[in-house]
A and B are shown apart, each in its own frame.
Chain A
Amino acid sequence: MPTIANPKVKPAIRPVIKPAGGTDSREELDAGYLVVCWDDPVNLMEYVTHVFQTVFGWNRAKAQKHMLQVHNEGKSVLARETLEKAEFYVHQLQKYTLHATLERDKK
């Protein structure tokens, strides 16, 4: 019987099933994926700061800095990770209904 007593962030352990011959594992292991949070007019600034602290374990000052970057510049790069880790963070942020995506780093 489930209860509402969920941990802050549940570990998302899930099998990664890839179609044969369709991927380049070197590309996926490359820490070249950016976790990006985009501005929107609906998420409260205090809420966004709290989510950044919860998902990334940042202190309040760092979380606020990124929240303000989202607010003032339209987006903030929150992390640069492998594809799998970037996907994990995007999913965590989307659980909180933030507008987050992962993007391939151009560099």
Chain B
Amino acid sequence: MKLLRRDGDEFEFEFAPVEKGLLFHLLGLYPAVPAAHHQLTKGRKIPSQAENQELLNEAVKSHRAENQRAVLALLNDAGRFTGGKEGARAVFQRGEVEWLLQVLNDVRVGHWIAAGSPNLQQEQKLQHDKQALRKVMLMELAGGFEMLFLGAVSGTLQPEADEP
């Protein structure tokens, strides 16, 4: 995946076929974080705590449904990615990149939780747990895409010249 062009709040990327496939696979895994993961407070009493937690739960539910609709819209939009076997190009607005970051990070965190919330400095402990390892791999893949999108919006990733 490479950044081809940055024009204000518009970004054009090129994806190798395998990269596009991986991105779509990751997006299809959304949402991955269990709903109960989102807690308003760590337990100290606040006014109307139960009601406020319920409001947060409703807001999270609504936000997820909206993101899921957007994921499906992207995955089913045949005209969104143009190009042939060499690579597919797509233009995203800044707001769309923000949305992609939220979705990819949900997939990242969700797979980390599903792998047993491992301390990532001690990944060698996972080597005998194939299921957890698979989840950590998906987590890292999501993180890789996040870093590329972050580089595009922050300006640390420079556009690469279009190959002739």
Which residues of A are interface residues toward B (Cβ below 8 A)? 1-8, 12, 14, 16-19, 22-24, 27-28, 33, 36, 41-44, 46-47, 50, 54, 83, 87, 90-91, 94-97, 101-104
Inter-chain contact B41/A97, CB cutoff 8 Å: no
Shortest beta-carbon distance from A107 to chain B in Å: 13
Q: Is B48 an interface residue (CB 8 A)?
A: yes
Chain A residue with the shortest CB-CB distance to B52: A87
Looking at chain A's contact residues, the main secondary structure is loop
**Surface stretch bound by A, among B14-22, B81-89, B105-113, B124-132:** B105-113
Inter-chain contact B101/A83, CB cutoff 8 Å: no
Inter-chain contact B48/A42, CB cutoff 8 Å: no
Give 11 new A-B contacts, CB below 8 A, not counting A4-B74, A6-B98, A96-B101.
Answer: A4-B100, A6-B66, A14-B55, A14-B59, A41-B118, A41-B120, A43-B105, A91-B60, A94-B56, A95-B102, A96-B105
Measured between beta carbons, the chain A residues less than 8 angstroms from B164 are none
Measured between beta carbons, the chain A residues less than 8 angstroms from B93 are 5
Q: Is B39 an interface residue (CB 8 A)?
A: yes
Complex partner residue of A44 from B39, B100, B143, CB under 8 angstroms: B143
Shortest beta-carbon distance from A78 to chain B in Å: 15
Q: For the complex, what is the distance from the CA of A103 to the CA of B107, rounded to whole Å?
A: 27
Inter-chain contact B59/A102, CB cutoff 8 Å: no
How many Cβ-Cβ contacts under 8 Å join chain A to chain B?
116
Measured between beta carbons, the chain B residues less than 8 angstroms from A95 are 63, 102
Chain B residue with the shortest CB-CB distance to A94: B38
Indicate whether A42 sits within 8 Å of B139 (C-beta atoms), given known contacts A87-B52, A97-B109: yes
Q: 8 smallest A-B Cβ distances: which pairs?
A: A4-B70, A42-B112, A97-B109, A97-B105, A2-B69, A6-B99, A41-B120, A23-B47
25 A-B pairs with CB atoms under 8 Å apart are A3-B70, A4-B100, A5-B96, A6-B99, A8-B94, A17-B51, A27-B47, A42-B108, A42-B139, A44-B150, A46-B147, A47-B146, A54-B98, A87-B40, A90-B56, A91-B59, A91-B60, A97-B102, A97-B106, A101-B39, A101-B41, A103-B41, A104-B44, A104-B45, A104-B46
Measured between beta carbons, the chain A residues less than 8 angstroms from B139 are 42
